[in-house]
Structure 1
Amino acid sequence: MSVLPLDAAAAASADATAAGSGRRSRLRRPGAIFGATWLVFVLVASLTAPLWRPYAVDEQDLADRLALPSAAHWLGTDPLGRDILSRIFTAGALPLLSSALMLVVAFGIGLPLALVAAERGRLTERVISRLTEVLMALPLIILLLAVIGVIGNRLYIVMAILGVLISAAVYRVLLGVAQSVRQRLYVDAARVNGLGSLRVNLLHVLPSMATVVAVQAAQLFGIGLLINAGLAFLGFGPAEPEPSWGFMIQDASKHLFDHPWLMVPTGTVLALTVVAANELADALAAPARPEPTRRRRRARAGRIASPNGPTAGAALAPTASAGAASVGAATEAASGRAGAGADPGVVLEVRNLSVGVDDGPTLVSGVSFALRPGTVLGLVGESGCGKTMTARSLLGLLPDGVAVTGGSIRWQGRELTDFRAVRGREIALISQEPMVALDPMFSVAYQLTQPIRRFRSVGRAEARRIARSLLGQVGIVDADRVLKSYPHQLSGGMAQRVCIALALTGEPKLLIADEPTTALDVTVQAEILSLLRALVRDTGLSVVLVSHDLGVVADLCDDVAVMYAGAVVESGTAASVLDAPAHPYTMALLGANPHVPEGEPVPLRLASIPGTVPPPGQWPTGCRFASRCRFAAAACGEPFPARSAHETGSVLCVRFDELTRTHATWDAEEVGAQTALDVETTPTAGAAR
């Protein structure tokens, strides 16, 4: 059974950018104006019909039966001489209200089920989906007729039961939308900021689903009107002399040849009402008009200053671009920071962490690292190596169907089991896409003050003062203007600063920064890096930084963990790992780094790493990098333990000692030849240039 028009995909794409102004622009379209006006007119006229109708619904004038429209009877009379206008609008209340009741029941059941299934994961979704499939398999019309046979022509009860049956189709349409919305970064940010499940759904998920819900409700309303009229046409409506649209159409069908006008008034009102509901749905589903009016453009130009103007970066410490600095110079700076009074204690310790898919492959295995207070740990590697899964596991924000399957996460000396107790308050998140990490439905002021009031237990005025202070702390000069702005009114760099301020609302001790500079240009990247350095220096924050950019890692990180295929293959201080890499994969990443130190010639061919990262479930038994490694040997195919390296770190390579003795490097020309070198018989082969 499927009575829902499944156009949710188009509506879902519109919903991604739906805001109040967008909906208003849709409702100003001619179709929307007609639909809303007609539905309001019919509803008001039907509910107030006893107050204004010229004749009673059972008042007969047999001398004037089947009359055409006249001054006495504007729409004519029926076969018994009753006024058609009075009967049409008196009959309108029942189908309109009963169809609305059907919507309330259908969405009252289907929408909460979709939200619960999207939140609770795969097992809950399977159970609910199987139950809804049973409802969808039931024959709708036959079941309704059976119900009418038991309870009689009680259309309100019948339409409520119809709502229960249709709720299964509503659930199937809204489930995909809810799952998509819950994957957005601003929903994760709300969870990190301490919002419970109910408030996340009410404040962030439902507003983003509003367009889809409105479209489906409008179309289902038209379907409910047709079903209501169809039941009355078959004789299952109100008993005479109570009027109903279906019975009036049935009565008119008997006089199609001798008096065709009788079909026109009732058929036209029913058709226009259904068309109006569909026009309203089409207007809601259509994309918002992209071009603002000239007056709005002028007002907006005067109201919004350039977010990345010269004053925005003035509050930040001057810094060179990370991309322009050589790796060697950056690692010297990192070494200096690491050795300057570092706290020997450990604030975060991860031991043998494993993350896997339910009934599926392992995504991360055996990951271990430690983080000291006031230091920055960089997780480095290609896409698909497990960096983000590792970082998100520290917050309990893994995707549905993915969970920690083994290992230990210790936070400040205690095993971390209740992530909600520390999210936002002690551990916060900075995402890589600031424009989707902020909820487009709310202003910056609302998104900052709400977690401040929740975490710090302060009033509205004090929360706004703290929000203004946090914006100043992250280098935003015009804090009052930014607080009044919505996310779409900010540039990428300004939005990322707001996201950092949002992460600081709970005064956390650890920031998880998931590629915080990836979506930004080089100049803004340097400003964000300078801001993070200042926060670490001034507040004593610890940071876990996920990044692909070795320049960013060298510039910002104190320690580095290089990940490949879900495992840490090398770890240690940033200076030791980047200046003297011990694992061939780290050598390959550095060799493929396009930055050339000043004064050195640009090579004719840049190094690259052949092949791709093996997907989870296809990892080899021994070294996972062996198939791409130019130093691979037969011993690499067998399991082996990690070795100590870089004094405080480790390396996962069976040929570590050999490569260290020969000072092997990843050379561009030799990589192009794609040869596996025997380091024992050719001790200088890896160092040749």
Structure 2
Amino acid sequence: MTTTDIRVAFDRAKQRRRSGLFRRFLRHPGGWIPLAVFVLIVLVGVFAPLLAPMDPNFVDLAAAKAPPSAAHLLGADSTGRDILSRLIYGTRITIWGALITIVTAVVIGVPAGVATGYFRGPFDRIAMWVSDALQSIPGMIILLVVAAGSRNNFELLMVTVGVFMVPGYFRIARSQTLTVREEPYIDAARVSGLSDARIISRHVVKAVYPPVIIQTALTAGMAMGMQAGLQFLGIGDSNVPSWGAMMLEGFRLMLTYPLMLLWPSVALGLTIAVLAIMGSTLAELAQVRTPRLRRRRATAAALEAATTAAPATGTVRHAAEGSVLRVENLRVSHATPSGAVEVVHGVTLDVAAGEVVGIVGESGSGKSQTVFSVLDLLPSSGASTADAIRIAGHEVTHASPKQRQALLGRELGYVPQEPMSNLDPSYTIGHQLVEPLRRVHGMSAAEAKARAREVLLRVGLSDPDRVLRSYPHQVSGGMAQRVLIAGAISGRPSILVADEPTTALDVTVQAEVLELLRELQQEYGMALLIVTHNFGVVADICDRVIVMRGGEIVEQGDVDPLFAEPQQPYTRELIAASLDDAAGRAELDAVGGATLDDDAAGATNATNTTEVRA
């Protein structure tokens, strides 16, 4: 098998994983067979008046305890009522009761779980306490009290059962939301200006609904069993035909007329069994589909570096008037089991209109935490304070999240690192570029698509229509980074923040992306703030550089003077490390240059600039 064959097979495997959960469910024998049986059971309940041979409550004393015959296919009960008719009508009441239970549990549990998982805060703790309390309450005692108080009102009883099922849905929805909200593509959607409601409806719900569907299949069986149990205890209207009431009567006559107990038991057992099989199959298929999610980049290493690195001092150079970003005395801390740990200590910085500024430092220096504070992307454990934060003339120091979000995508664009992680694998690239333009900038569908094509062409993608139709896994890493850049500039922001924009790319593509960012900055006249650990990137593109260590600015200034005469030992070490790395790469290039012919070079370049795979 050639490399191309392996690649094609890999792409097909990924496409199979991307196919819909329910499409694969319908192709699985453990899916479509029990689903067909369950649909048949539901249809029997829906069309009970047409399918039942007689009125389920018609009494024929002459046929009491009659065995199966042409007149009564499954026999008759102790009062002569037709068992088949009562069984068919019992299907209707069983399905209806399960539906009431599921709707109650889903309507209460899923929104509460999504809201608490996404927003956290005090409401999350209260909701968890209520969930624990519901699980600790003896449900059967409450049901008996409700039955006595409502005179055996069937609907109210099933609503009560649904309330006791709420914790299952709540915990599933909350758990899934907590995981998804840490995905980089959620941050990218937030920085593009999409509202929390839109992010939840388009990105979070997409991840929540598969386990909710699985839970529903299992909950339906539990609801049917509990409903039958209540009716078996004599709770409910005895005149309403139900499987539980039939089982109660059959139990009383079990020694003299066992057929009475057989038929409703088979019906209930079959229905619960097919629901359990469907739930099990869905769970198996969902496990194959669920991606391995990444956590936010606020790592323990950053906290450790912030607490151990020795702070240094430096002269702060203020940008000229007309700055598009101004941060004064910014402090960032993270909650830990041993208490709050401060990772950024009083940082002040400016970025002037049309200026390219680089924030450089080693891992754990606080550079990304500084930027995340401005972008409002700190994790739930993080908190920031500042004397002033101004974005494009807007004071946002004490602004609400909604007010600050109104600037995202309009005045402030964001290009994250790890391009593949910042694109939602569930949607096409076109959808992810067009949606912010429509929701944030109020464009029509046609205008948004035209703008998306325009920016894709501008970032060097020659076939924008195919890119728009593609899913993230169908493009290369370099193309994905260009897509993120296109999305960031599509709203024509005043300042573009690029967080390690070339880290995940090879050397050739890195140079192309840096050149592209510089061209776009000059063409659109926007400011550019680049976060990096590489002084080579700073030298290549920046006008001014800010050096951070241990959560503080140790030195800053224009690029050329700072490179010529760095004032701080730490700055000299970083520059020396970058020069050593550059020298090593130049030596490798020199060795390779003697043997690399033109055809090989062209093949290498074609590989690095590959667009969408067909």
TM-score norm. by structure 1 comes to 0.72
Aligned to 1:537: 522
Aligned to 1:312: none
Cα deviations by residue, 1:527-563 (Å, 9 ceiling, x for unpaired): 2222212211222222222223333333233322222
Residue type of the partner of 1:75? L
The answer to whether the 8 Å contact 2:194/2:440 transfers is no
Q: In structure 1, which of residues 261, 266, 269 is the aligned counterpart of residue 267 of structure 2? A: 269
Residue type of the partner of 1:270? L
Please state if 1:355 is matched with 2:368: no
Aligned to 2:77: 78
Aligned to 1:330: none
RMSD, aligned CA:
2.8
Aligned to 2:444: 459
Give the helix-richer structure, 1 or 2. 2
Q: Which moved further from structure 2: 256-265 or 465-474? A: 256-265
Give the share of equivalent positions with the same residue, in percent: 39
Residue type of the partner of 1:133? D
Displacement after TM superposition at 1:599 (Å): 11
Cα deviations by residue, 1:36-59 (Å, 9 ceiling, x for unpaired): 222221111112111121122123
Aligned to 2:191: 192
Please state if 1:514 is matched with 2:513: no
- 1:243-642 equivalences in 2 (<5 Å): 243-287=241-285, 345-357=322-334, 360-416=340-396, 417=399, 418-593=403-578, 595=581, 597=583
Displacement after TM superposition at 1:471 (Å): 0.7
Q: Which moved further from structure 2: 137-146 or 579-588? A: 579-588
Aligned to 1:207: 206
Displacement after TM superposition at 1:70 (Å): 4.7
Cα deviations by residue, 1:268-310 (Å, 9 ceiling, x for unpaired): 221121122222222222236989xxxxxxxxxxxxxxxxxxx
Aligned to 2:86: 87
Aligned to 2:596: none
In 1, Cα distance between equivalents of 2:52 and 2:586: 93
- Secondary structure class of the residue paired with 2:530: strand
Cα deviations by residue, 1:557-604 (Å, 9 ceiling, x for unpaired): 3322222232222322333444544334334444555615279999xx
The answer to whether the 8 Å contact 1:178/1:205 transfers is yes
Q: Which moved further from structure 2: 393-402 or 347-356? A: 393-402
Aligned to 1:306: none
In 2, Cα distance between equivalents of 1:599 and 1:63: 100
- Secondary structure class of the residue paired with 1:394: helix
Please state if 1:220 is matched with 2:222: no
In 2, Cα distance between equivalents of 1:289 and 1:392: 32
The answer to whether the 8 Å contact 1:425/1:507 transfers is yes
The answer to whether the 8 Å contact 1:428/1:508 transfers is yes
Q: Which moved further from structure 2: 366-375 or 44-53? A: 366-375
Residue type of the partner of 1:532? L
Displacement after TM superposition at 1:413 (Å): 4.2
Displacement after TM superposition at 1:233 (Å): 0.9
Please state if 1:129 is matched with 2:106: no
Residue type of the partner of 1:550? F
Cα deviations by residue, 1:117-142 (Å, 9 ceiling, x for unpaired): 22333323123222333333321111
Aligned to 1:676: none
In 1, Cα distance between equivalents of 2:141 and 2:265: 25
In 1, Cα distance between equivalents of 2:586 and 2:119: 56
- Secondary structure class of the residue paired with 1:88: helix
Displacement after TM superposition at 1:343 (Å): 7.4
Change in Cα spacing, 1:221 to 1:386, as seen in structure 2 (3 Å) is farther
Aligned to 1:326: none
Aligned to 1:307: none
Residue type of the partner of 1:147? V
Displacement after TM superposition at 1:478 (Å): 0.6
In 1, Cα distance between equivalents of 2:279 and 2:357: 51
The answer to whether the 8 Å contact 2:391/2:411 transfers is no
The answer to whether the 8 Å contact 1:121/1:401 transfers is no
The answer to whether the 8 Å contact 1:106/1:167 transfers is yes
Displacement after TM superposition at 1:467 (Å): 1.2
Displacement after TM superposition at 1:103 (Å): 1.6
Displacement after TM superposition at 1:392 (Å): 1.5
Change in Cα spacing, 1:345 to 1:159, as seen in structure 2 (3 Å) is same
- Secondary structure class of the residue paired with 2:20: helix
Displacement after TM superposition at 1:67 (Å): 5.0
- 1:30-45 equivalences in 2 (<5 Å): 30-45=29-44
- Secondary structure class of the residue paired with 1:382: coil
In 2, Cα distance between equivalents of 1:479 and 1:550: 33
Displacement after TM superposition at 1:24 (Å): 1.1
Residue type of the partner of 2:324? V
Structure 1 residue runs without a partner (length 5+): 1-16, 292-341, 603-689
Displacement after TM superposition at 1:62 (Å): 4.9
- Secondary structure class of the residue paired with 1:59: coil
Change in Cα spacing, 1:233 to 1:528, as seen in structure 2 (3 Å) is same
Cα deviations by residue, 1:292-345 (Å, 9 ceiling, x for unpaired): xxxxxxxxxxxxxxxxxxxxxxxxxxxxxxxxxxxxxxxxxxxxxxxxxx9774
Displacement after TM superposition at 1:248 (Å): 1.6
Change in Cα spacing, 1:18 to 1:77, as seen in structure 2 (3 Å) is farther
In 2, Cα distance between equivalents of 1:148 and 1:579: 85
Displacement after TM superposition at 1:414 (Å): 4.3
Q: Which moved further from structure 2: 501-510 or 393-402? A: 393-402
- Secondary structure class of the residue paired with 1:508: coil
The answer to whether the 8 Å contact 1:354/1:407 transfers is no
In 1, Cα distance between equivalents of 2:80 and 2:473: 62
In 2, Cα distance between equivalents of 1:225 and 1:430: 51
Residue type of the partner of 2:424? D
Residue type of the partner of 2:355? T
In 2, Cα distance between equivalents of 1:192 and 1:439: 14
In 2, Cα distance between equivalents of 1:79 and 1:558: 94
In 2, Cα distance between equivalents of 1:175 and 1:289: 18
Residue type of the partner of 1:140? G
- 1:93-112 equivalences in 2 (<5 Å): 93-112=92-111
Displacement after TM superposition at 1:101 (Å): 1.5
Q: Which moved further from structure 2: 102-111 or 581-590? A: 581-590
Number of aligned pairs? 535
In 2, Cα distance between equivalents of 1:77 and 1:586: 93
- 1:38-53 equivalences in 2 (<5 Å): 38-53=37-52
TM-score norm. by structure 2 comes to 0.80
Q: Which moved further from structure 2: 92-101 or 248-257? A: 248-257
Displacement after TM superposition at 1:433 (Å): 2.5
Displacement after TM superposition at 1:143 (Å): 0.9
Residue type of the partner of 1:32? G
Residue type of the partner of 1:54? P
In 1, Cα distance between equivalents of 2:506 and 2:408: 30
- 1:628-667 equivalences in 2 (<5 Å): none
Cα deviations by residue, 1:66-123 (Å, 9 ceiling, x for unpaired): 4555554443433444332221120122221222122212121122222222233332
